[in-house]
Structure 1
Amino acid sequence: MIHFDLRCEGGHRFDGWFRSGADFERQITLGLVACPTCASVKVEKALMRPAVALKSAPAPVETPQTSEPTSPAGPLPAGPVAAKPQEAHAVAGPEAPAAAAMAKLYQALQAHARVVREKAENVGPRFAEEARRIHYDEAEKRGIYGEATRQEVEALHEEGIVAVPLPPLPEDHN
């Protein structure tokens, strides 16, 4: 397997793993690689740092070729979902259109989560308790968000109280 740092036309950066450089080129030509953030299929290799082997374990160094010039302002910032390889991957094959739709949906959910966090009150680990108080008119009606276990959310649902998980945001990891 070969790893490439990739960038879409929107500037989002993400990782892709391919069998070979030729396999990457074939998938790009067929439009099978999609950005997990904006679903664009206009993807190219981004500049990468070469892999540097440790003294004890020599490893081959591969630097992908790109026609992109280096920016005088330095490297481009990483996209919001490209922090770790296990969080964002290139999608290839017949699943690419569905993955592109899922990427758009996830982006919309993240935007909604930001709005909720701006306008609602964070009640932290008291979420289930406070949701019940609001539902049973023991506290003022207002938007809240916080933390709850799966069992607490299931119990809320059994009582007819709507509680949905918010997706994690990239800024949560900073």
Structure 2
Amino acid sequence: MALKVFDLQCEAQHIFEGWFSSHEDYDSQQEKGLLTCPVCGNAKISKMLSAPHLNVSHLKKAKQAQTVSPVPVTEAAASLTDKDLAKIQATVMQQLRAYVKQTEDVGDQFTSEARRIHYGEAKDRAIRGNATPEQRQALREEGIEVLPIPDFLDDNQLQ
């Protein structure tokens, strides 16, 4: 099955990709409120304009005589293989997981503890825990920056 990849944007202007089985699948998930921004958790998502993928390989032979200078690519980027990119991705994931492990899990007390830290009532430290999208929005409105952690970065969620 071919997937549709859409460029999406939340109300806070974060841009990310969404993969769907069809346009109807996107519409259905949007209507059910299942789409949220992976950066801030905002549920007001819109589809951005994106270039379609066109299979024009058959045109290459006809246009071989006409050449265009490619966009410059640095030597380092041009020499990266799929294996190199996979190693980089694995290293980044390990570093992100290590960072998450260094945070204190405060569970359902996340919003109250985040406020206590913000207002100087508790020791300043990195914490993680549970918060609804509404609670995260309320914290942001108070000037308290929060970021949802995807389950795949939190080893406690994987057990």
* TM range, smaller chain: 0.3 to 0.5
TM-score computed with the length of structure 2 as normaliser: 0.40
Determine which structure has the larger helix proportion and give its number: 2
TM-score computed with the length of structure 1 as normaliser: 0.37
